[in-house]
Chain A
């Protein structure tokens, strides 16, 4: 594990489970979707991330302090969610430490939930969900389930690093990316990504509530979206719009 980042376990964490991830990124899709799953499945906090590279803050719940980046779990599933935008310069060590921990816990597959900015999002009724795999075997798993695979292009940010580090360690990881707003919290995209996740593994949560509470969620997520925007600009997120070179396979 990176010396700068620690994953601290509060409870014993079973090995061999699947894991979800929701880290602030475009439209906060992953955070909204993962938080909704954690809340509805009544998952408990089992571990948290501590690092000198993170801002000096704590999140208060029912009067007690908690790390802003936490891992929740039940007997079938783990889920990591971050309530702060991870600073661009901390992203590599944090993601490395998380993937090292994933390896130690022999996580079966990692499903990273997120969004991909769609410039015409306002006019999209049902956001499409694209997928990316960390290795051949996982790619086959996606194709067999008729998922829309992103064949070429750039990914920037936490999901890009997760895929890269999981590929190095031969861990099966999937990024699910729903078409979303770049700058605005997008609960509809979060619902789309949960529906797509259910084509891959069973996560029994109702997305109707997410859609009904959409306006409330958008209002509550304004400040985290503001902070995330700055970090996205720092990591040059707009590179995802670039057209990749044609000749290099």
Chain B
């Protein structure tokens, strides 16, 4: 007889899936540079964590102007986060002399591991770290017998 999956089995599978997707994302990110001359943007380091009530996205954005943070929903499970910097940064500023270019903003695409209400996002910037709290969309409930 097939054993019924416990809530812990479901949670474990969910965590493994999340880890797998994060690994895929990391690999994808590494294959391209962390800057884009066309949009004059730098890709910030970001992190995604999931709590029972929300998805918390943080991004390291030194020199960020908190007033300029924008979140755009690109798909059900993808948002784009952008923000302007208070200063313009060149490759030379970053210690690279054999390339020309100037950067003035941050931009990154963040995959969302679970459904969220993007319109209800709360944003704060502290110590140059952007924190976006996205409430999870409630669609189902698992009854524990």
A-side interface residues toward B, CB under 8 Å?
Answer: 122-123, 181-185, 188, 214-216, 218-220, 222-223, 225-227, 229-230, 233
Within 8 A of A (CB), among B64-115: 89, 93-95
Number of A-B contacts (CB under 8 A): 51
B residues contacting A by CB (< 8 A) are 23, 26, 29-30, 34, 42, 44-45, 47, 58, 60, 62-63, 89, 93-95, 126-129, 131
- On whether the beta carbons of A219 and B45 are closer than 8 Å, the reply is no
Q: Is the interface of A mostly helix, strand, loop or mixed?
A: helix
- Nearest A residue to B129 via CB reads A122
Are A122 and B26 CB-contacts (below 8 A) given A220-B94, A225-B45, A226-B45? Answer: no
Contact A122 B62 (CB under 8 A): no
CB distance from A121 to the nearest CB of B (A): 9
Whole-angstrom distance between the alpha carbons of A33 and B29 in the complex?
27
With a CB–CB cut-off of 8 A, which chain A residues contact B23? 233
B82 → A minimal CB distance (Å): 16
29 residue pairs A–B, Cβ–Cβ below 8 Å: A122-B58, A122-B126, A122-B131, A123-B126, A181-B129, A183-B60, A184-B45, A184-B129, A214-B62, A215-B62, A215-B63, A215-B128, A216-B93, A218-B62, A218-B128, A219-B62, A219-B63, A219-B89, A219-B94, A220-B94, A222-B44, A222-B60, A225-B45, A226-B29, A226-B30, A227-B30, A230-B26, A230-B30, A233-B26
Q: Known: A219-B42, A220-B94, A222-B44. Is A229-B62 also a contact (CB below 8 A)?
A: no
Q: How far is the CA of A182 from the CA of B58 in the complex (A)?
A: 12
Q: Which of B45, B47, B89, B94 has the most CB of A within 10 A?
A: B45
A184 and B128 alpha carbons, distance in the complex (Å): 11
